[in-house]
Amino acid sequence: MSRYVIRRLLWMIIVILCVSLITFVLSYIVPADPAQLMAGPRSTPEIVARIRHEMGLDRPLYLQYATYVWNVAHGDLGDSFITRRSVLVSILERFPATALLAVFGLGFELLIGIPTGVISAIRRGGVMDRSLMVASVLGVAAPAFWVGLILIYVFAYKLGWFPLGGYEGWGHPIYAVLPGLTIGLTGAAWYARLLRSSMLDILGADFVRASRAKGLPEHLVIRRHVLRNAWGPVVTFFGIDFAYAFGGILIIEIVFSVPGIGWQAWVAIQNNDVPLVMGTVLFATFLVCITNLAVDIAYTWLDPRIKRN
């Protein structure tokens, strides 16, 4: 297992380097000039040239990238071209808002999706199964911003049960209920359909029929044998979903006016703030790599037959 983890960590470094290179090149292909944006439309060429020199943009591209990688290896993601503040500090300041939405969103997804998938698989072919699957299709098809606007109108504007939007820190979780429910309603459908499909494959297996033939109660058959073997695809999807949510949920943050890292990255893209864009991308890439590693390790606990060498 230790050798496997070391190999995965080495591959994670390679993936981050590749992502950083692609993002760096794409950022500089964009025709907008960060120095010109900082200097303003009425600035003289001399002022623009001086700002470009101060920002290091007049050096060859490979030297700029090499310097950037060296700084990142030492924990320095650079400074924002626009705010002149540390990129790492800016991301860490906005991350708690995104993390709060992610926690509530993932929680609602599992709370709604898993029971729906289990009930639908057990009641296969019945009215409840068909009703739940129709509801899951609607959940998959419904745009997140539309669901969010409906929830705001009904529960915040009309009923006044929740705030219209904003973020007041982890000490006021009520601000995250509606955004989290929006994520949960649109994402739970995937978990329900995935778990239902996985359970249906296992319910017809020989060891399940043998357990029933031995007189084991149905709820124990489902919990001990079916669910234990059906978690694999769900855990894989949860790992991807986890990294996506914690990497910034742009649409949800905009609809509910939550100052998260997704919204910050969107503003940085509009301003051609290359260091902040690259820092956010690398941060999200790191989360994806770590989450994938955790999911692979979790498989060995869910299924002891899997060995990691």
Q: What is the pLDDT of residue 302?
A: 60
What integer pLDDT is reported at residue 304 of this predicted model?
A: 54
What tokens were used for 148?
A: 């969010």
> Residue 27 has what pLDDT?
74
For CA atoms 166, 90, 96, 168, the dihedral sign is negative
Token reading at 118? 């289990």
Q: At what angle do helices 87-122 and 127-141 cross, to 10 degrees?
A: 160
Tens-digit pLDDT string for the chain (309 aa) = 677 778 878 888 888 888 888 888 877 776 666 676 666 667 777 777 887 777 777 777 788 888 888 888 888 888 887 777 888 888 888 888 888 888 888 888 888 888 888 887 777 766 666 777 777 777 667 777 788 888 888 888 888 888 888 888 788 888 888 888 888 887 788 888 788 777 777 776 766 667 767 666 766 777 666 776 777 777 777 777 777 777 667 788 888 888 888 888 888 887 778 888 888 888 888 888 887 777 777 766 665 555 555
Sign of the Cα pseudo-torsion (224, 226, 230, 235, in order) = negative
CATH architecture assignment, domain 88-302: Orthogonal Bundle (1.10)
Contacts 24+ apart (CB under 8 A), 117-124: 117/191, 117/192, 117/193, 117/194, 117/195, 117/196, 117/199, 118/195, 118/196, 118/199, 118/222, 118/227, 120/192, 120/196, 121/195, 121/196, 121/199, 121/200, 121/203, 122/199, 122/222, 124/200
Domain boundaries, the chain: 2-87, 88-302
Tell me if 232 sits within 8 A of 198, measured CB to CB: yes
Angle of helix 127-141 relative to helix 177-203, nearest 10 degrees, comes to: 130
- CA–CA separation, 41 vs 296, rounded Å? 51
* Predicted local confidence at residue 265, as pLDDT: 84
